[in-house]
Amino acid sequence: MSVFSFQTVPNLRFGESAAEALAPMVEGYGARRLMLITDPGVVGAGLVGPVVAGLEARGLTVAIYDDVEADPPETKVLSAVKAARDFKAEAIVGFGGGSPMDTAKLVALLVRAQQPLREMYGVSQVDRSRVPGGRLPLFQVPTTAGTGSEVTPIAIVTVGAEMKLGVVDPVLYADGAVLDPRLTCGLPPHVTAHTGIDAMVHAIEAYTSRVRKNPISDNLAQQALKLLAGGLPRAMKDGSDLTARGDMLLGAMLAGQAFANAPVAAVHALAYPIGALFHVPHGLSNTQVLAPVLRFNAETSPALYADLAALLVPEAAEQTKSDTARAGTFIDFMVQLTADCGVDPSLRAVGISHNDLPKLAEDAMKQTRLLQNNPREMTYEAALAIYTAAL
Ligand X SMILES: NC(=O)c1ccc[n+]([C@@H]2O[C@H](COP(=O)([O-])OP(=O)(O)OC[C@H]3O[C@@H](n4cnc5c(N)ncnc54)[C@H](O)[C@@H]3O)[C@@H](O)[C@H]2O)c1
Binding site for ligand X (CB under 6 A): 39, 41-42, 45, 47, 70-71, 96-100, 102, 143-144, 146-149, 152, 154-156, 183-184, 186-187, 191, 195, 198, 282-283
# chain residues binding Fe ion, by CB under 5 A: 1
Rounded to the nearest whole angstrom, what is the least distance from the CB of residue 259 to Fe ion in the complex?
8
d(CA 147, CA 145): 7
d(CA 85, CA 64): 13
d(CA 69, CA 154): 17
* Residue 198 in the binding site for Fe ion (CB under 5 A): yes
Rounded to the nearest whole angstrom, what is the least distance from the CB of residue 287 to Fe ion in the complex?
11
Contact 176, 34 (CB under 8 A): no
* Cα dist from 273 to 28, 98, 168, 264, 302, whole Å: 41, 17, 19, 15, 27
* Residue 90 in the binding site for Fe ion (CB under 5 A): no
Q: With respect to Fe ion, which residue has the nearer C-beta, 269 or 306?
A: 269
Q: Residue 60 binds which one of ligand X, Fe ion, none, with CB within 5 to 8 A depending on kind?
A: none
Could you give the dihedral angle defined by the CA atoms of residues 362, 368, 374 and 376, in that order, rounded to the nearest 10 degrees? 60
Q: With respect to ligand X, which residue has the nearer C-beta, 9 or 298?
A: 9
Closest CB to ligand X belongs to which residue? Answer: 41
Rounded to the nearest whole angstrom, what is the least distance from the CB of residue 172 to ligand X in the complex?
8
Rounded to the nearest whole angstrom, what is the least distance from the CB of residue 263 to ligand X in the complex?
10
* Residue 363 in the binding site for Fe ion (CB under 5 A): no
Q: Residue 71 binds which one of ligand X, Fe ion, none, with CB within 5 to 8 A depending on kind?
A: ligand X
Q: With respect to ligand X, which residue has the nearer C-beta, 9 or 156?
A: 156
Q: Return the range that interacts with Fe ion (CB under 5 A); candidates 85-93, 191-199, 228-236, 318-326.
A: 191-199
Rounded to the nearest whole angstrom, what is the least distance from the CB of residue 351 to ligand X in the complex?
19
315 phi and psi angles, rounded to 5 deg: -70, -45
d(CA 7, CA 321): 37
Q: Residue 163 binds which one of Fe ion, ligand X, none, with CB within 5 to 8 A depending on kind?
A: none
Q: With respect to ligand X, which residue has the nearer C-beta, 122 or 358?
A: 122
Rg, C-alpha atoms of the chain = 20
Q: With respect to ligand X, which residue has the nearer C-beta, 40 or 358?
A: 40
Side chain identity at residue 236, one-letter code: M
Rounded to the nearest whole angstrom, what is the least distance from the CB of residue 36 to ligand X in the complex?
14
* Spatial strand order in the sheet of 122-123: 122-123, 163-168, 154-159
Q: With respect to ligand X, which residue has the nearer C-beta, 213 or 282?
A: 282
Q: Return the range that interacts with Fe ion (CB under 5 A); candidates 84-92, 100-108, 154-162, 195-203.
A: 195-203
Rounded to the nearest whole angstrom, what is the least distance from the CB of residue 334 to Fe ion in the complex?
15
Q: With respect to ligand X, which residue has the nearer C-beta, 39 or 90?
A: 39
* Cα dist from 145 to 49, 104, 149, 196, 319, whole Å: 21, 17, 10, 6, 33
d(CA 26, CA 359): 45
Angle (CA) 369 374 380, round 5° = 80
Element (H, E) at 259: helix 242-261
Instruction: Give me the count of residues in the chain.
Output: 391
Contact 173, 8 (CB under 8 A): yes
Q: Residue 195 binds which one of Fe ion, ligand X, none, with CB within 5 to 8 A depending on kind?
A: ligand X
Rounded to the nearest whole angstrom, what is the least distance from the CB of residue 236 to ligand X in the complex?
15
Q: What are the residues binding Fe ion (CB under 5 A)?
A: 198
